[in-house]
């Protein structure tokens, strides 16, 4: 008979215990929060390196599972990077950015880079300048000196015109003609005895008389036309003199206001060019400043070609303060939680006018990239990829190091939105920190050849760290930090020890501790809740355990339903007796954030034939690739073990009974092999023992995942069915380090009500299951 005791584990083997006495405190109010990030030395070094390299393309991709503290680490290091950049004289490369009217090409607004705080000043100055010019130009033209000069010029024109007319009329009369000048033209009429010559009289004249009269009329007409030409020249000269006067008056007023503005921006070439253009524009349209506001508004029309507000001479005075850094004394840190195209790159707004949509440079709005210029932008990779067009555009911006507002709707809705503005791009110097899970990072690395060239630094946050006394003490500092940050009740050292044990359970490794501090913080909050209900001033270990029990209870409805179906026989699982070719296997199911173990009956039937192993799940297309591989390994083991001298003429069928979904993974391959060996040898298998573990072709039992969930799931089933006593589980010896079982199971093992066996080979396992020594 086989003695299974040599394979059986003791309670001390089933869980790592954290001794509260090993902690250098009795309560967390005696210690301080951690000064550095716990267990993330590699990621912290990578993040510091990436933030320290001030070169294009050295953007950072931060990977890590949820709860590992990606955002916390990033916030802390960004704050430190900003502090390092601003220490000393405090000179930081931050600028204001303004979009202004382009006098050469109005549909291409110009971008002005201005020293920090100058953008708001220029915006206000231009707004005030417009109001001042409107007032002062009108006042200049209402001045009595100007009016007197225009009256003098007009009187001079009238006098000279009257003199010419009088002289012309006198000359005409001397030749016997009268002159009539009207809007219809000039008429030279013969006069006899002071009266116009009658038509009949004219016809009664001799030919010589008529010829002489016509010749005289032509001479008089020529003289009159010459006089009219002189009058028109006088009027044109008068108009030019008035225009010159108006220009001098306007220029004197305009220069008085633009001279200090030019002097103020003489060292800023872009701003000076804009001011000069605005001055020339003002002089050109000075007459419009003499009109009232109603006339100005009436001048707004729509250009069908650009969609802009056309012929608004006062639009250039409106400066769009696109990015205002006047209130910032450090490089900006922008966290964009919703990186749509417009939120990231900016947008061109439009407004309805006269049946269409119009826009101009004042309707340009910045995105996160422009706002983060000179600093840092934090985005989430998944959100970037979910928004259409954002990822290609982001790559283009980071490669070209420039960004401008765009209107992506133009390419889809050009019939509604005519071609609009093409603003001048803004050069950017921004460090992008993108966060995401490791799978997404590897996917981008594999399918996008540009990814490596843009994100050259990876900071990978580990989800676990070595279980050392120092790191256990760090858990105490972490608990202290959360207690102070969230105003929780202090934790005793035994409560911290319970949290540390839960940290080992989270990673299923007693030699490791979890660094998913987000999940641990939730447990601290929930434990505090139970301590408050208990009226305890401090959180104790029992409150932590209560929080963990309640956490499982809230999520375990489906697991309980499946267990009930097994107890009442709906799902058929034998928990006692012995059967040939039948073993209870174990699988892990995950619902949300809760995982549980579920036993399944695995059967094998063997008979003479040459087909080898037939995987019924595969034939029914319910088997995954990894499970198929595990079954094929069984063929290799059986051939190596039993067919060295003679062919193995056997057909084997294996199946997961009452399984109607996909079967994946190889953790049941040893279970399937035990069922096959039982069927071949006709030796019954103890149904009280469930099995998990994969096997290789050498007959070695390999470790699997979910060991804790599988043991606890089978224990709960046996307890519910009243089958504790001989019940137990067979698992790989290499999984012993993964065991962090509940105290209830440890007590059952201690009382010989439940058994956990750890094996290294198939021979060890089949010996325990059949009670017959293998060989």
Confidence check: pLDDT of 320 > 70:
yes
Strands (E), 104-168: 110-115
What percent of the chain has pLDDT above 90? 64
CATH number of 560-770: 3.30.230.10
pLDDT at residue 626, rounded to an integer? 79
pLDDT at residue 222, rounded to an integer? 85
The string over 347-368, giving b where at least 16 C-beta atoms fall within 10 Å of a residue's C-beta and e elsewhere, is bbebeeeeeebbbbbbbbebbb
Dihedral sign for Cα 16, 22, 26, 29, please: negative
Q: In angstroms, rounded to a whole number, what is the distance separating the alpha carbons of residues 264 and 46?
A: 46
Q: In angstroms, rounded to a whole number, what is the distance separating the alpha carbons of residues 690 and 618?
A: 23
Ordered alpha helix ranges (H), 611-697: 616-619, 625-642, 669-681
When mean pLDDT is compared over 183-187, 216-220, 421-425, the highest value belongs to: 421-425
Domain borders along the chain are 12-39+463-555, 56-94+328-461, 102-320, 560-770
pLDDT at residue 473, rounded to an integer? 96
For residues 138-162, give the mean pLDDT.
Answer: 90
What is the second-level CATH architecture of the domain 56-94+328-461?
A: 3-Layer(aba) Sandwich (3.40)
Structure tokens of 10?
């003791």
Q: Return the percent helix, strand and coil in the chain, to nearest 5.
A: 50, 20, 30
Q: In angstroms, rounded to a whole number, what is the distance separating the alpha carbons of residues 216 and 218?
A: 5
Q: In angstroms, rounded to a whole number, what is the distance separating the alpha carbons of residues 510 and 128?
A: 72
Q: In angstroms, rounded to a whole number, what is the distance separating the alpha carbons of residues 274 and 610?
A: 91
Confidence check: pLDDT of 747 > 60:
yes
Q: Is 636 helix (H, G, I), strand (E, B) or coil?
A: helix
For residues 528-546, give the mean pLDDT.
Answer: 97
For residue 629, give Cα distances in angstroms to 602, 642, 696, 717, 763: 17, 20, 10, 30, 21
Q: What is the pLDDT of residues 725-735, one digit of tens each?
A: 999 999 999 99
Confidence check: pLDDT of 410 > 70:
no
Look up residue 58 and give its DSSP letter: B
Q: In angstroms, rounded to a whole number, what is the distance separating the alpha carbons of residues 303 and 311?
A: 9
Confidence check: pLDDT of 385 > 70:
yes
pLDDT at residue 641, rounded to an integer? 85
Confidence check: pLDDT of 418 > 80:
no
Cα 497 from chain centre = 39
For residue 634, give Cα distances in angstroms to 167, 587, 628, 756: 130, 19, 10, 25
- Name beta bridge partners: 756: 729
pLDDT at residue 700, rounded to an integer? 94
Q: In angstroms, rounded to a whole number, what is the distance separating the alpha carbons of residues 197 and 175?
A: 13
Q: What is the pLDDT of residues 501-525, one digit of tens each?
A: 999 999 999 999 999 999 999 999 9
Least confident interval from 9-18, 240-249, 359-368, 612-621: 612-621
Least confident interval from 275-279, 403-407, 617-621: 617-621
Q: In angstroms, rounded to a whole number, what is the distance separating the alpha carbons of residues 435 and 698?
A: 43
Confidence check: pLDDT of 565 > 50:
yes
Q: What is the pLDDT of residues 438-485, one digit of tens each?
A: 999 999 999 999 999 999 999 999 999 999 999 999 999 999 999 999
- Same CATH fold, 560-770 and 56-94+328-461? no
pLDDT at residue 411, rounded to an integer? 53
Residue 298 confidence class, pLDDT cut points 50, 70, 90: very low
Contact 40, 48 (CB under 8 A): no
pTM over 0.85: no
DSSP string, 741-753: --HHHHHHHHTTS
Class of domain 12-39+463-555: mainly alpha
Confidence check: pLDDT of 294 > 50:
no
Q: Which of 279, 285, 283 is nearest to 248 (CA)?
A: 283
Structure tokens of 647?
């062919």
């Amino acid at each position: 008979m086989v003695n299974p005791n040599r394979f059986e584990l003791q309670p001390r083997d089933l869980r790592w215990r954290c001794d509260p006495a090993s902690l250098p405190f009795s309560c967390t109010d005696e210690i301080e929060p951690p000064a550095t990030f716990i267990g993330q030395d590699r990621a912290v070094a990578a993040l510091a390196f990436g933030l320290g390299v001030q070169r294009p393309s050295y953007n950072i991709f931060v990977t890590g599972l949820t709860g590992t503290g990606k955002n916390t680490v990033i916030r802390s290091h960004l704050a430190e990077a900003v502090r390092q950049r601003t220490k000393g004289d405090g000179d930081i490369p931050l600028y204001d950015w303004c979009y202004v009217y382009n006098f050469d090409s109005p549909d291409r607004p110009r971008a002005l880079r201005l020293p920090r705080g100058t953008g708001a000043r220029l915006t206000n100055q231009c707004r005030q300048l417009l109001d001042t010019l409107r007032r002062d130009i009108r006042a200049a033209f209402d001045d009595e000196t100007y009016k007197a000069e225009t009256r003098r010029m007009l009187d001079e024109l009238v006098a000279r015109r009257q003199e010419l007319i009088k002289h012309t009329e006198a000359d005409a009369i001397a030749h016997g003609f009268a002159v009539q000048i009207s809007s219809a033209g000039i008429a030279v009429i013969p006069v006899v005895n002071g009266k116009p010559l009658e038509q009949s009289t004219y016809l009664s004249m001799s030919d010589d008389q008529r010829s002489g009269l016509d010749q005289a009329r032509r001479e008089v007409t020529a003289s009159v036309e010459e006089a009219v030409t002189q009058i028109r020249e006088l009027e044109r000269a008068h108009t030019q003199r008035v225009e010159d006067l108006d220009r001098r008056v306007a220029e004197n007023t305009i220069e008085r206001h633009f001279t200090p503005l030019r002097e103020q921006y003489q060292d800023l070439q872009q701003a000076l060019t804009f001011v000069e253009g605005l001055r020339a524009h003002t002089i050109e349209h000075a007459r419009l400043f003499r009109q009232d506001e109603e006339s100005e508004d009436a001048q707004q029309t729509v250009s069908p070609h650009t969609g802009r507000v056309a012929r608004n001479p006062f639009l250039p005075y409106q400066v769009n303060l696109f990015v205002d850094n006047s209130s910032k004394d450090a490089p900006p840190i922008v966290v964009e939680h919703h990186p749509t195209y417009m939120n990231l790159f900016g947008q061109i707004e439009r407004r309805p006018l006269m049946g269409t949509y119009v826009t101009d440079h004042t309707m340009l709005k910045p995105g996160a990239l422009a706002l983060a210029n000179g600093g840092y932008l934090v985005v989430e990779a998944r959100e970037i990829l979910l928004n259409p067009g954002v990822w290609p555009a982001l790559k283009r911006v980071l490669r070209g190091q420039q960004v401008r507002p765009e209107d992506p709707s133009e390419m889809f809705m050009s019939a509604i939105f005519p071609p609009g503005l093409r603003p001048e791009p803004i050069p950017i110097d921004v460090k992008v920190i993108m966060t995401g899970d490791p799978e997404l990072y590897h996917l981008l690395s594999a399918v996008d050849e540009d990814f490596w060239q843009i994100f050259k630094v990876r900071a990978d946050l580990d989800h676990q760290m070595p279980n050392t006394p120092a790191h256990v003490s760090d858990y105490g500092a972490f608990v202290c930090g959360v207690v102070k940050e969230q105003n929780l009740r202090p934790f005793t050292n035994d409560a911290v020890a319970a949290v540390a044990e839960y940290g080992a359970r989270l990673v299923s490794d007693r030699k490791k501790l979890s660094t998913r501090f987000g999940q641990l913080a939730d447990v601290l909050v929930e434990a505090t809740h139970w301590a408050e209900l208990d009226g305890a001033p401090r959180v104790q270990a029992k409150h932590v355990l209560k929080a963990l029990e309640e956490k499982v209870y809230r999520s375990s409805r489906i697991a309980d339903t499946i267990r009930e179906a097994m107890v009442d026989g709906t799902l058929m699982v034998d928990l006692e007796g012995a059967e040939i070719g039948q073993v209870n296997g174990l699988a892990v199911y995950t619902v949300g954030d809760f995982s549980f173990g579920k036993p399944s009956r695995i059967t094998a039937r063997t008979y003479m034939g040459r087909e080898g192993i037939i995987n019924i799940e595969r034939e029914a297309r319910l088997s995954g690739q990894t499970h198929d591989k595990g079954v094929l390994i069984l063929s290799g083991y059986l051939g190596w073990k039993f067919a060295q001298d003679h062919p193995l003429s056997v057909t084997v069928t294996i199946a997961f009974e009452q399984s109607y979904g996909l079967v994946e993974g190889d953790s049941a391959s040893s279970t399937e092999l035990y069922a096959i060996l039982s069927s071949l040898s006709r030796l019954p298998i103890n149904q009280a023992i469930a099995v998990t573990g994969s096997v290789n072709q050498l007959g070695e039992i390999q470790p699997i995942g979910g060991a804790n969930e599988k043991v606890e799931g089978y224990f709960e089933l046996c307890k519910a069915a009243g089958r504790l006593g001989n019940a137990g589980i067979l698992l790989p010896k290499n999984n012993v380090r993964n065991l962090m079982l509940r105290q209830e199971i440890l007590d059952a093992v201690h009382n010989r009500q439940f058994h956990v066996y750890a094996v290294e080979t198939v021979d060890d396992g089949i010996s325990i299951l059949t009670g017959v020594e293998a060989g």
